[in-house]
Structure 1
Amino acid sequence: MNPGRERAVAALLCAVGAGLVLLAGGREWATVRASGAITPIGRTLTGGDLAGATTALGWAGLAALAALFATRGRVRAAVGALLVLLGAGAAYTAATGIGRAHVLAVAEERSTLLRLGGDLVVATSWWWAVSVAGGVLLAVAGLLTLARGGRWPGMSARYDRPGTGRAPAGASGAAGAAPGDPASLWKSLDRGEDPTLDGDPPGPGRATND
């Protein structure tokens, strides 16, 4: 696989991973109900309620996507290491945020009636696993960047035309200057040359400076 395709794969993993983390953060992760209460009492908790840090980590991972294209060398390697940390953090906070003790604690903080209820029943959805999967994809994108990112082109590489470069330092004067350069025109006039002749030998129909 060539470096350009490797970078595209890493960018795709980063985008999908961050998207899954952000998508899952706003969905329902758990529901707590008091089964022994006279009046049914329940509380629905989202990913933002149980693991709010995952959403912040997802946004940070999405921001790192642009850095994959804009950086090179050691800076890109640092972006890869950051992606590994962001992905691992998102996966860890999502996995620990769905624990029963944590879910009950958050639910009781948001609903005092649950404390007065009987047996509390916790039901979880699969959205927390989606967030974990997104974190894993972010980490994989970071590992790929660390391992292969040094070979990838930068953002400006596609706009560079092959064979273009600066003129040699010793090349000066009218021959090395652009035709419309005002400085070269003034130098030509100082030497007694006519810049309108464009370097062509004087013909029968042109007057010389002599």
Structure 2
Amino acid sequence: MTPGRERGLTALLCAAGSGLALLAAGRTWVTVRAGDAITPVAQSVSGRDLGGTASALALAGLAGLAALFATSGRVRAAVGALIALFGGGIAYASALAVQRSQVRSAVADKSTLFSLNPHPAMDVNLWWMVSVTGGVVLAAGGLITLVRGARWPGMSARYDRGTPAASGEDRTDAEPIPDEPAPSDVDPAVLWRSFDRGEDPTASRDGRP
């Protein structure tokens, strides 16, 4: 596999990890039911309701993709380390968000009925695991960048060079300067007026034959 292709596949890996985390953040992670309350109620809680850390780190991971292509060498390796930290943070924040204390705090902010029930029933689905998976995938992409990124090519340098005229290079594709028109191409009336003035119309402007 060429270094350029390896860089592209790693970027796709990072994008997939961030995308999974962002997708999961908008889905319902926990459904809480307060059956012992005066009025039995149920409340669905999304990943963003439980905390915006995971989605914020996923957006930071997407922003790191631009730096992955724009940098090179050790700077790119440092970017890879940051992306790996973002992925690890997503996985940790997602697992922490579904803890009972965190869920109770989130639903209490939505309805006071849940704060009156000390033991509400909680149904946790698998969307939080999707977010954890996204964090792991993003972290893997960051680690690959940390280890292998210094070998990958940077952005194309052809746009960093000046134009041939500005850099002093000869232009091979420049259009040739048109030659002086041949006497046969000159209007006969012009030739006649030149004869009247005593001029030789076959001579060039600089006096050379």
Give yes or no for TM over 0.5.
yes
Tell me how far 1:89 sits from its aligned partner: 0.6
Distance apart, 1:119 and its partner CA: 3.7
Structure 2 CA distance for partners of 1:104 and 1:118, relative to 1, 3 Å: closer
Superposed CA deviations along residues 15-36 of structure 1, whole A, max 9, x for unmatched, are: 1001001000110011111122
Identity %: 51
- TM-score, L = length of structure 2: 0.75
* Alignment gaps of 5+ in structure 2: 180-201
Partner of 2:199: none
1:150 partner amino acid:
A
Contact 1:36 1:118 in 2 (8 A): no
Paired residues of 1:32 and 1:42 also in contact (CA < 8 A): yes
2:129 maps to what in 1?
Answer: 129
Query: How many residues are treated as equivalent by the alignment?
Result: 179
Post-superposition offset of 1:83: 0.3
Q: Distance in 1 between matches of 2:111 and 2:134?
A: 30
Q: State the secondary structure of the residue aligned to 1:48.
A: coil
CA contact (8 A) 2:37 2:113 kept: no
Per the alignment, residue 18 of structure 1 pairs with 18
Q: Residue 42 of structure 1 aligns with which residue?
A: 42
Q: Distance in 1 between matches of 2:74 and 2:208?
A: 60
- Alpha carbons of 1:48 and 1:196: their partners in 2 closer, same or farther (altered >3 Å)? same
Cα separation, 1, equivalents of 2:144 and 2:119: 48
Distance 1:179 1:19 in 2: 48
Give the secondary structure class of the aligned counterpart of 1:33: strand
Partner of 1:69: 69
Aligned to 1:115: 115
Given that 1:54 and 1:94 are in contact with CA atoms closer than 8 Å, whether structure 2 keeps it comes out as yes
* Structure 2: distance between partners of 1:54 and 1:104: 19
When residues 55 and 206 of structure 1 are mapped into structure 2, their CA distance, relative to the original with a 3 A threshold, is farther
SS at match of 2:49: helix
1:45 partner amino acid: V
Contact 1:37 1:118 in 2 (8 A): no
Match of residue 81 from structure 2: 81
For structure 1, the residue ranges without an aligned partner over 5 or more in a row are 182-194, 198-204
Quick check: 1:34–1:118 contact (8 Å CA) kept in 2? no
Q: Contact between 1:31 and 1:43, CA under 8 Å: does it hold in 2?
A: yes
Contact 1:42 1:114 in 2 (8 A): no
What displacement does 1:177 show? 4.5
Give the aligned partner of residue 27 of structure 2: 27
What pairs up with 1:91-102 in 2 under 5 angstroms?
A: 91-102=91-102
Q: Is the 8 A contact 1:89 1:135 kept in 2?
A: yes
Q: 1:42 to 1:180 in 2, by over 3 A?
A: closer
Q: Deviations over 1:113-135 (max 9, x none)?
A: 11234641111111100010011
Matched with 1:202 is none
- Tell me the CA shift for residue 38 of structure 1: 4.0
With the length of structure 1 as denominator, give the TM-score of the two structures: 0.74
Matched residue type, 1:75: V
Change over 3 Å in CA distance of 1:36–1:69 after alignment to 2: same
In 1, are the aligned partners of 2:34 and 2:113 still within 8 Å (CA)? no
In 1: Cα distance, 2:101 partner to 2:110 partner: 15
In the TM superposition, what are the counterparts of 1:160-179 in structure 2 within 5 Å? 177-178=170-171
